[in-house]
Structure formats: structure tokens, C-alpha cells
Amino acid sequence: MAARFSGVLQLTDLDDFIAPSQECIKPVKVDKKPGKAAAKIRIEADGSYFQVNQDGEAQKLEKAKITLNDCLACSGCITSAESVLVSQQSHGELCKVLALNKAAAAHEQKLVVVSVSPQSRASLAARCKLGLLETAQKLTTFLKGLGKCVHHVFDTTFSRNFSLLESQQEFVRRFQRQAEDKKALPMLASACPGWICYAEKTHGSFIIPHISTTKSPQQVMGSLVKGYFAEQQHLPPDRIYHVTVMPCYDKKLEASRPDFFNQEYQTRDVDCVITTGEVLKLLEQEGVSLSDVDPSPLDTMLGGAAEELSSHRGGGSGGFLEHVFIHAARELFGIHGASIHYRPLKNKDFQEVTLERDGQVLLHFALAYGFRNIQNLVQKLKRGKCPYHYVEVMACPSGCLNGGGQIKLEGESSKEELQQVERLYESLRAEVPEENQAVRELYEHWLGGWGSDRALQVLHTQYHAVERASSALSIKW
Amino acid sequence: PCPVPGSGWACRAVLADGHQRTVRRVAWSPCGQFLASASFDGTTCVWRRHEHGFEVVATLEGHENEVKSVAWAPSGSLLATCSRDKSVWVWEVDEEEQEFECVSVLSAHSQDVKHVVWHPSQELLASASYDDTVRLYREDEDDWVCCATLEGHTSTVWAVAWERSGQRLVSCSDDRTLRVWQRNEGHGGGSEHSWQCVCTLSGYHGRSIYDVAWCHLTGAVATACGDDAVRVFEEVSPVSQKEQDLEDFPIFPDFSPGLTLHCSASVRSTSVEAEPSLRKSPSVSFSRHMSRMARAVFPVSFRE
């Protein structure tokens, strides 16, 4: 089970079982009255515990409870939570939810929305030997047919526009305050939950100030669906069930973060994440071959059908480096249309890009994919030897197109498969986020304007260092 | 002046500030100028010797928990570490920065990794684990990959040792056996080799075998066992002509048989059980090389 998360998460203490010597380190908060030292514990016939103090007064003790959210990203025994998590967010669970939803009374039924990532779509297209547009249209039909109660199918390329725009802006702000704020730069990308969980657990408060507060495309979609879209449908957020299709399992952990849980309505921004591979399983389960499915028009959040698909420049992991670079070159140095040349360093997952003028380096950016490169980056940072202003950090070697949840093609080498998926992914027209009309409309009419407080609140998040208490492990030689 | 062997030892340095927990393993670099120390505090320190002692030139961080072993590659420019976090890391010295950078994180094992050791002449790495396997790793394009998994032990593999030629390695295990593995030449033009267990020595050790060493001079294999004994194994050519499918083994000319423990090997895997009569022998004789080595460790005895 543990093997399916990204390499970075795997390394962070995933055990198959809670070994007898390993304790749950999650502190359980119980209201305790300060009292006398000695007390006895009495166990009742029904298994409940009573604390009996010296005067004979008995007080029932609460059972210590750990919720799934407590377990997440805790450095104690994540995998036991992981198996619960995976079963709560698998395609099997999705089918159950959909069946229940179908059978529910009209006023209790939820509107089901599925947001598909472009990486998952490219992987499916490669597997089913279809073009991207066909895949999107046929997938829409298939998903809407599931349990007969999936109502809308969106593309997270749309929400990615917001992530890119916010990241660009955030970088410029950080660059401008780097003199007063030593932790402003380097800015590290935040779209990859494998990287985020690792950073919070392993490097905590040292690294957190460097991580971009911009939400990932998945979570922006969550905010849009449960916020804007819910309002448009005249529904409260908890009457929408939001499913995303993602290229990795780490995204399941991201969806379960407490920061993405709406306390008021007791609902998550993203209720269920299924991987590309799990969609394939669904197709197999239903005995459907995607190529045989009729195409449906593509939904858009603002209504109306989309005529074509679009993408963003900068590779299969979202294009954060390129967008931040080009925007910064323009805003900070007045250089328009800056060209980007990648210089590979130690390995192909570690590459540099610089912006120079008159022999002076103005911007120094890097891509760091995969655990070994993340390691080296963080170590350089700790020693104060990191020369970069911005780093696009991703946990998976070769980026999101190579995520742990993508479909493994048969009969070809994994390198060729990946190249095929990359070719498909890059075949789309790249759009510029600033020029997307729907995005501008949402900023103006729903987010209260560009750079507003509301935009900051809806599109940004925060991180939490995980305290690693030293547990009383028995030494093993 | 050269110290006369056996005339005594002086403590030259106590490096007490490098680690916060047990130091589990130390290793000298091939050039002798550096010392690596692996610790349960999760770090590996690299010390440089100079006139007046040693100083830390690098602290390799990154393992999640206890580092169990560290080893220098024969070239001296690569270092390997392994940990209870199930991973093996390969580090490279960056000449310019005088720093070590992580070149690969290999998570092939499914449990605690106990030992890593490099091939005597090639950049080929072996690791031994609580998951009962030995794994081999080599560089492939710009990353390291696990190129072989040696399965056969039924419990933790504590240590591995390479034969001088690098064609074979021996592993020792909690399952009280030693296994000798041999590389087969690959078919066709590929550089892939496959490894086979060509000999299993069982019945000799009363408890877990914690360490094994393969002498590069004499070819003898020594083991450290939880039953309080050190054992030494040597290969011999078979006495009996009846044994078929046997390959030639290197024999040292001044080797006198005395008590020797058969390790017969063939292309097919073999198990060797110690005969009950051999187990009770009170005397052991060794060749000249052997006895010097035997004196340097502990008296060898065989349990009844």
C-alpha cells in the first residue's frame, strides 16, 4: 500500500503496521482538572473506564479518539491512516457514494461534480489510443453515466489559471520585499502535496516561510466548485459532492487537509480523489471501452460548452516556473517575452533557467523534481548556499505526468510511455492565464477584484510544521 | 618510524561532538584521509584527518532515522549509506564545493537496511536488509537503479562481503546460514547480470550470524555468530571424483587440509549440512596466512 505514494512521502516513516514499539505521537487533548496525584482506574463490565480518586469519586474517562485528520501527515504511523484514507477515497467508495446518492430523497441528494486533471486525461488518451479532445468528450459521457448521478465534468486546467496568476503575483511581492524579509526568497512551488507533506514533517518551520501560499489547481477547483459554483446552483457547499481525477495518490492526502475543510458547512472542498488508474478500473468494471463511448460536449464552470481544450506552457507539472519567470521578467525588469532556456544540472530532473542582462543575472530559477534533488535543494538552503529565487519543486521524477497514479501502458518501455503521454499533453494550444475571459470575470465578480483580500483568502492557504516528538522506540541494530 | 606490529596502540583522537546518538559504523576512505561515521541520530559525518586530529568536513543529513552503515566506493568519490528508513543513499563528493551531494535515494528494500558494501573494484553496491534480501545497485544513465535482488534467506540478512574478484559475494543471516552468490554472465549484448545462490552453508551456526568477512588474500570467509564463536570457512576442491558439475576454485598452494568444511558448489544451487562427526572435532589447522589472521581475532572453537 505504501508503495503507491510518491517517493518523497514513502520515505517519511510509512510502516505497514503500527509496530508494537511505535507509539502514536498525536497528543490527545483531554480536559483534565488539576487534582491529587493518586487515582485508581476502574474498568466497568461494559468496558468503560472510570477514574476513582481518593475520596471515592468516580469520573468517567473519555475514550482517546484519533480522527483521520489527526493522523494525516503525522510522523507517527501514517500508513494505518493511509489504508483508511485510501478506502475512503477509492473508486469503490465513489461507486458506493453515487449509489447512495441516487437512492437518496430529492432534498438530500447531492449534486455531483467531477474535475479531471489534464495529466490524467493525457494518460487515459495514451492508453485508449485516442486524441485528447475525444478523450475529454468521451470521458465526460462515461463519468456522467456513473451511477447516473454525475452532473458536471470540469477540467482543472481552468482552476490552474488562478494558481498560476496568484503564484506570479506572490513572487513579485516576495522579490520586492527580499531586503526586509530574509525568508521571502527562494520561493518554492506549492502545488505538489508530496513535497508539502514532506516539508512540513521533515523541515518544518525552517522551510515553511519559503513555500508559496498559493493553493494547488485541485484545491482552487475545490474552492470554486464549493464556492462560486454552489452559489450559482443555489446550493449550500455540503450539497455538492466534488470528485477530482488526479495523476497521483498524494492528492488524496491534500484533499483531506484540515485547511481545506469548510467548518461552517462541515464539508471538504474536494470530497474524493481518484487516480487515473482508478478511472481505468471503473471503465473495466463497467465493461466499457472508452473509444466506443459517444462524445458529450465539455462543461465549463461559467456555463456554455467549451469548443476546444487548452493548456499552459511549461511542462506537465503545471508550468509554474515558466509563468512566474515571464511575469517577473516583465514586472520587475521590464523585459517582455523573455525566452526560457533550460540548463540541466546533475540530472534531468534538476534544471536551471536564468534571466540575464548585460552580463548580470537578474533572475535565477530552477526545477527540482524527485527526492534526491529536493534533498540537495533543502540542504543547500540550510547551508545558505541556495542561489535560486524560485524553484518549481515536484516529488515525482519527470513531474506529474509520471505520477504514481497514472496508467502503466503495456508492451512499451516506461520511458517511451512517458514520452507518448508528454507528446499528447503538449499538443494543446497553450493559453495565457491573464487572457482567459472566464478567469477575469470570476476575479472581478466573485473574488472582489484582482489582489483583493477575498482573493487572498480563497486562493491561498497555510502550512503547519509537524512536531516530531522522539518516541520510545527500542533500538534495533 | 614504522610502528612494529604488536607493540601496542595509542589513542590519537576522540571525536565526541559529531553525533548525538550511538555511532554504529565507521569507514576509512580508500585514500585514508577521510573517515565516515554513521549514527543512530540519522546523520553520517565525514571527517578529514590533519596533523592535529580530525575535523568534520561534511554532515550528510536526510535519512529519516538510524543510519546503520556507511561505505566508500573503491574510487573514493562515492559514499553509500543505509538506514532503518528502508532506503539506501548514494552520495557524491563535489570537488569544488568540498561537499557531498545526494546522487540517488534507493527505496528498493521493504524493511530496515542493515549493511551496505561496495564491490572491490566497480561502482556496484550491495545492501542487506531485514526484509531477508540482498540487493545490488548500479548507475544507469543519470540515476541509480536496483539491478538485482538476491532472495533465499528466510530471515534478516545482517551483512554481505565481496570476494576479491567481485564475481561472488557471501551473505550472512539471522536464519543461521551463509549463502554464496555468483554472478552469471548475461546473455547477448546487455550488461545485465543475473545472480544465483551457488552455496548455502547451514547447520554450522547455532545462532544468528551478524557479520561475515571474505579475506581478499586467502579467500577464507570468517563469520561472527550469536553463539559466541568465530568460524572460518575455506573452499576446497572435492576429494571425491564422484562429484559432478563442479567448478574449479582457487586453492592456495600452502594450504594444508586439516579440518576443512566442505563447500561444494555447482551451477545448480546446493545446500550443505555439516556432518555430525565434523561438528565435534577438537582441532583445527590452518595455513600460514590463516593462522596469523586467526591469532588476530579470537580462538576459533566449534560447538558440540
Q: In CATH, what number is assigned to the domain containing residue B184?
A: 2.130.10.10
Give the domain CATH number at A295. Answer: 3.40.50.1780
What three-state secondary structure class fits A456? helix
What dihedral angle (degrees, nearest 10) is formed by the CA atoms of B237, B238, B241, B243?
-120
Give the domain CATH number at A200. Answer: 3.40.950.10
What three-state secondary structure class fits A386? coil
Choose one of B95, B127, B151: the last residue of a domain. B151
Pick the closest to residue B89 from B68, B74, B119, B75 (CA basis).
B68
Least confident of A194-208, A426-440, B98-112, B273-287: B273-287
Percent of chain B with pLDDT over 90: 60
pLDDT tens digits, one per residue of A32-74: 556 656 677 778 777 777 777 777 777 777 666 555 555 444 4
For chain B, how many structural domains are there in total? Answer: 2
Q: Is A359 left (phi over 0), alpha (psi -120 to 50) or beta?
A: left
For residue B104, how many other CB atoms are within 10 A of its CB? 24
Residue linked to cell 566442505? B262
Q: Is residue B22 part of a domain?
A: yes
Please tell me the predicted confidence (pLDDT) of residue A287.
93
pLDDT tens digits, one per residue of A94-134: 888 898 888 888 888 899 999 999 999 999 999 999 999 99
- Counting every residue written for chain B, the total comes to 304
Please tell me the predicted confidence (pLDDT) of residue A278.
93
Pick the closest to residue A200 from A299, A94, A74, A77 (CA basis).
A74
- Mark A120-153 as b/e (b = at least 16 C-beta within 10 Å): bbbbbbbbbebebbebbbbbbbbbbebbebbebb
Tell me which of A307 and A225 has the higher pLDDT: A225
Q: Is B57 on the interface with A (CB under 8 A)?
A: no
A132 neighbors A427 (Cβ within 8 angstroms):
yes
- Residue A253 is placed in which grid cell? 492526502
Q: Is residue B69 part of a domain?
A: yes
Cα-flanking dihedrals φ and ψ of residue A210, to 5°?
-85, -15
How confident is residue B92, by pLDDT bands cut at 50, 70 and 90? very high
Q: What is the mean pLDDT of residues A239-259?
A: 93
pLDDT tens digits, one per residue of A196-212: 988 998 888 899 999 99
Cα-flanking dihedrals φ and ψ of residue B6, to 5°?
90, 0
Q: Are residues A431 and A370 in the same domain?
A: yes
Q: Is A477 on the interface with B (CB under 8 A)?
A: yes
Q: Is B98 on the interface with A (CB under 8 A)?
A: no
Q: Is residue B4 part of a domain?
A: no
Q: Is residue A257 part of a domain?
A: yes
Q: Are residues B239 and B188 in the same domain?
A: yes
Eight-class DSSP state of A214: B
For residue B275, how many other CB atoms are within 10 A of its CB? 11
- Residue A283 is placed in which grid cell? 471503465
Q: Are residues B24 and B77 in the same domain?
A: yes
Eight-class DSSP state of A15: -
Window A:2-31, CB contacts with B under 8 Å: 7, 10-13
Q: Is the peptide bond before A209 cis (omega within 30 degrees of 0)?
A: no
Pick the closest to residue A213 from A191, A229, A235, A197 (CA basis).
A191
- What distance in Å separates residue B264's CA from the closest CA in chain A? 33
For chain A, how many structural domains are there in total? Answer: 2
Please tell me the predicted confidence (pLDDT) of residue B275.
43
A180 has a pLDDT exceeding 60: yes
In sign, the C-alpha dihedral spanning A247, A248, A254, A255 is positive
Choose one of B151, B183, B213: the last residue of a domain. B151
Q: Is residue B6 part of a domain?
A: no
Say if the Cβ atoms of B101 and A376 lie within 8 Å. yes
Say if the Cβ atoms of B143 and A7 lie within 8 Å. no
Instruction: List Cβ neighbours of B226 (8 Å cut-off, separation of 6 or more).
Output: B206, B207, B208, B209, B210
How confident is residue A4, by pLDDT bands cut at 50, 70 and 90? low
Pick the closest to residue A164 from A212, A120, A223 (CA basis).
A212
How confident is residue A78, by pLDDT bands cut at 50, 70 and 90? very low
Q: Are residues A183 and A202 in the same domain?
A: yes
Q: Are residues B290 and B204 in the same domain?
A: yes
Most confident of A39-53, A246-260, B248-262: A246-260
- Residue B250 is placed in which grid cell? 582457487
pLDDT tens digits, one per residue of B179-218: 999 988 765 444 567 899 999 999 999 999 999 999 999 9
Q: Are residues A226 and A335 in the same domain?
A: no
Q: Is B139 on the interface with A (CB under 8 A)?
A: no
Q: Are residues A291 and A338 in the same domain?
A: no
Tell me the angle at which helices A118-128 and A132-145 cross, rounded to the nearest 10 degrees: 100
A412 has a pLDDT exceeding 60: yes
Strands (DSSP E) along A128-247, which ranges?
152-155, 187-188, 240-246
Choose one of A256, A289, A310: the last residue of a domain. A310
Please tell me the predicted confidence (pLDDT) of residue B81.
98
Q: What is the mean pLDDT of residues B262-288?
A: 36
What CA–CA distance (Å, rounded) separates B93 from B67? 19
Q: Is residue B304 part of a domain?
A: no
Say if the Cβ atoms of A379 and B61 lie within 8 Å. yes
End-to-end CA distance of chain B: 47
A chain contacts of residue B77, beta-carbon cutoff 8 Å: none
Q: Are residues B216 and B140 in the same domain?
A: no
Q: Are residues B179 and B52 in the same domain?
A: no
Please tell me the predicted confidence (pLDDT) of residue B301.
36
What three-state secondary structure class fits A207? helix
Least confident of A164-178, A234-248, A294-308, A312-326: A294-308
Q: What is the mean pLDDT of residues A410-438?
A: 88
Q: Are residues B129 and B242 in the same domain?
A: no
Q: What is the pTM of this model?
A: 0.79
Q: Are residues A122 and A222 in the same domain?
A: yes
Tell me the angle at which helices A276-285 and A91-103 cross, rounded to the nearest 10 degrees: 60
Q: Are residues B18 and B143 in the same domain?
A: yes
Q: Is residue B303 part of a domain?
A: no
Q: Are residues A146 and A278 in the same domain?
A: yes
Q: Is B184 on the interface with A (CB under 8 A)?
A: no
Q: Are residues A289 and A348 in the same domain?
A: no
What three-state secondary structure class fits A163? helix
Q: Is A284 exposed, middle or buried (0-12, 13-18, 19+ CB in 10 A)?
A: exposed
Range of the domain at A284: 75-160+216-310
- What distance in Å separates residue B85's CA from the closest CA in chain A? 7
Q: Is residue A142 part of a domain?
A: yes
A430 neighbors A312 (Cβ within 8 angstroms):
yes
Residue linked to cell 545482517? B158
What CA–CA distance (Å, rounded) separates A12 from A2? 10
Q: Are residues A402 and A275 in the same domain?
A: no
- What distance in Å separates residue A326's CA from the closest CA in chain B? 29
Q: Is residue B302 part of a domain?
A: no
Q: Are residues B174 and B280 in the same domain?
A: yes
What CA–CA distance (Å, rounded) separates A318 from A160? 7
Q: Are residues A209 and A319 in the same domain?
A: yes
Please tell me the predicted confidence (pLDDT) of residue A42.
79
Say if the Cβ atoms of A477 and B61 lie within 8 Å. no
Q: Is residue A11 part of a domain?
A: no
Q: Is residue A172 part of a domain?
A: yes
Tell me which of A54 and A237 has the higher pLDDT: A237
Q: Which of B65, B68, B105 sits opposite A375 (nearest CB)?
A: B105
A18 has a pLDDT exceeding 80: no
Cα-flanking dihedrals φ and ψ of residue B222, to 5°?
-115, 145
Q: Are residues A273 and A397 in the same domain?
A: no
What CA–CA distance (Å, rounded) separates A105 from B277? 82
Q: Is A443 on the interface with B (CB under 8 A)?
A: no
Say if the Cβ atoms of B62 and A477 lie within 8 Å. no
Instruction: List Cβ neighbours of A421 (8 Å cut-off, separation of 6 or more).
Output: A122, A123, A126, A316, A401, A406
Instruction: List Cβ neighbours of A235 (8 Å cut-off, separation of 6 or more).
Output: A111
Q: Are residues B211 and B143 in the same domain?
A: no
Choose one of B96, B119, B151: the last residue of a domain. B151
Please tell me the predicted confidence (pLDDT) of residue A45.
79
Say if the Cβ atoms of B64 and A13 lie within 8 Å. yes
Tell me which of B4 and A389 has the higher pLDDT: A389
Q: Is residue A448 part of a domain?
A: no
What CA–CA distance (Å, rounded) separates A287 from A142? 11
Beta pairing class for B168-173 and B221-225? unpaired
- What distance in Å separates residue A375's CA from the closest CA in chain B? 7
Q: Are residues A380 and A257 in the same domain?
A: no
- Which amino acid would we find at residue A363? L
How confident is residue B170, by pLDDT bands cut at 50, 70 and 90? very high
A26 neighbors A66 (Cβ within 8 angstroms):
yes
- Mark B253-272 as b/e (b = at least 16 C-beta within 10 Å): eebeeeebbbbbbeeebbeb
* HEC letters along chain B: CCCCCCCCCCCCCCCCCCCCCCEEEEEECCCCCEEEEEECCCCEEEEEEECCEEEEEEEECCCCCCEEEEEECCCCCEEEEEECCCCEEEEEEECCCCEEEEEEEECCCCCCEEEEEECCCCCEEEEEECCCCEEEEEEECCEEEEEEEECCCCCCEEEEEECCCCCEEEEEECCCCEEEEEEECCCCCCCCCEEEEEEEEECCCCCCEEEEEECCCCCCEEEEECCCCEEEECCCCCCCCCCCCECCCCCCCCCCCCCCCCCCCECCCCEEECCHHHHCCCCCCCCHHHHHHHHHCCCCCCCC
Window A:198-257, CB contacts with B under 8 Å: 202
B176 has a pLDDT exceeding 90: yes
Q: Are residues B197 and B287 in the same domain?
A: yes
Q: Is residue A42 part of a domain?
A: no
Q: What is the mean pLDDT of residues A185-201?
A: 94
A chain contacts of residue B64, beta-carbon cutoff 8 Å: 11-13, 202
Tell me the angle at which helices A320-333 and A156-176 cross, rounded to the nearest 10 degrees: 40
Q: Is residue A209 part of a domain?
A: yes
Q: Are residues A126 and A207 in the same domain?
A: no
Pick the closest to residue A18 from A471, A456, A339 (CA basis).
A471
Please tell me the predicted confidence (pLDDT) of residue B94.
78
Q: Are residues B92 and B220 in the same domain?
A: no
What CA–CA distance (Å, rounded) separates B246 from B236? 11
What chain B residue is nearest to A10 in terms of C-alpha separation? B107
Please tell me the predicted confidence (pLDDT) of residue A8.
63
Choose one of A288, A310, A332: the last residue of a domain. A310
- Residue A250 is placed in which grid cell? 498524494
Strands (DSSP E) along A303-359, which ranges?
343-344, 350-357
Instruction: List Cβ neighbours of A304 (8 Å cut-off, separation of 6 or more).
Output: none
pLDDT tens digits, one per residue of A309-335: 999 999 999 999 999 999 999 999 999
Instruction: List Cβ neighbours of A413 (8 Å cut-off, separation of 6 or more).
Output: none
Please tell me the predicted confidence (pLDDT) of residue A105.
86
Interface test with B, best of A376, A473, A474 (most B CBs within 10 A): A376
ipTM of this complex > 0.85?
A: no
Q: Is residue A149 part of a domain?
A: yes
B chain contacts of residue A375, beta-carbon cutoff 8 Å: 62, 102, 105
Q: What is the mean pLDDT of residues A405-424?
A: 84
What three-state secondary structure class fits A49? strand
Range of the domain at B28: 13-151
Q: Is residue B282 part of a domain?
A: yes
Q: Are residues B191 and B79 in the same domain?
A: no
Q: Which of B22, B66, B104 sits opposite A372 (nearest CB)?
A: B104
Strands (DSSP E) along A269-359, which ranges?
272-275, 343-344, 350-357
- Residue B151 is placed in which grid cell? 532472495
